[in-house]
Chain A
Amino acid sequence: AQKITQTQPGMFVQEKEAVTLDCTYDTSDPSYGLFWYKQPSSGEMIFLIYQGSYDQQNATEGRYSLNFQKARKSANLVISASQLGDSAMYFCAMREGSRGGNQFYFGTGTSLTVIP
């Protein structure tokens, strides 16, 4: 089974609207972390947001929030008030394990296009 699944290869959103990028994960480890990264066309990888498996509240960072549903094993990224500069590839990633024995997995990404 895939460790990280991003089922939306491409998404479109109107500028100023909100958009949700889906991510589901598979792990039996009680300790894990979930990350979202943005990769613009220029190629760099930009860290956006992090959610730990023991965190009680959903993570938020500015216009980014992570909709963490532990029972469903989903960690969707919500971008509010989309901007043209949000057009990029978005990768969901997971860290499972403990110190000295972590495994890291990345999804295949979702391409987001913001329409003016």
Chain B
Amino acid sequence: DAGVIQSPRHEVTEMGQEVTLRCKPISGHNSLFWYRQTMMRGLELLIYFNNNVPIDDSGMPEDRFSAKMPNASFSTLKIQPSEPRDSAVYFCASSFREGQPQHFGDGTRLSIL
């Protein structure tokens, strides 16, 4: 069975550029989560969706961050404009229902120069 698929696996870009991270959740999963992991702050929940609807975006750090889920099989996390402090590993996860175990993608390692 296909797990959560994230792309790209690695992204290196210059400060000020727009960055778009993509996620395909596990088929049939109704909840989707975006996390950011850094050495300093650990794993932080940025936003999560239930049935494609954003439920809690209180973890989104700034207006430069936005996330969408146009359908049940696709979500994006966009950073515009990007800054060096956005460098981190970004994980997408999905669960069958909210509150149930989340299954993570392999992450996108983002470096902003």
Contact = CB atoms under 8 A, between A and B. Distances in A.
Given A43-B89, A45-B91, A108-B42, A102 B98 contact: yes
B101 A100 contact: no
A107 B101 CA distance: 16
B67 to A, nearest CB: 15
Interface in B1-51: 33, 42-45, 48, 50
Nearest to A105: B45
B106 interface: yes
Interface string B77-113: 0000000000001010100011111111111010000
A109 B42 contact: yes
B53 to A, nearest CB: 9
Interface string B55-75: 110000000000000000000
A44 interface: yes
A91 B44 CA distance: 12
Interface residues of B, number: 24
A45 B55 contact: no
Contacts of A100: 50, 55, 98
Nearest to B107: A43
B54 to A, nearest CB: 11
A44 B48 contact: no
A99 B99 contact: yes
A33 B96 CA distance: 15
Given A33-B100, A95-B99, A100-B55, 17 more contacts: A37-B104, A43-B89, A43-B106, A43-B109, A44-B107, A45-B104, A50-B100, A99-B50, A99-B98, A101-B55, A102-B56, A103-B56, A104-B33, A104-B45, A104-B48, A106-B44, A108-B42
18 contacts: A35-B102, A43-B107, A46-B104, A97-B99, A98-B99, A99-B98, A100-B50, A101-B55, A101-B56, A102-B48, A102-B98, A104-B48, A106-B42, A106-B43, A106-B44, A106-B45, A108-B42, A109-B42
Interface of A: 33, 35, 37, 43-47, 50, 91, 95, 97-104, 106-109
Interface of B: 33, 42-45, 48, 50, 55-56, 89, 91, 93, 97-107, 109
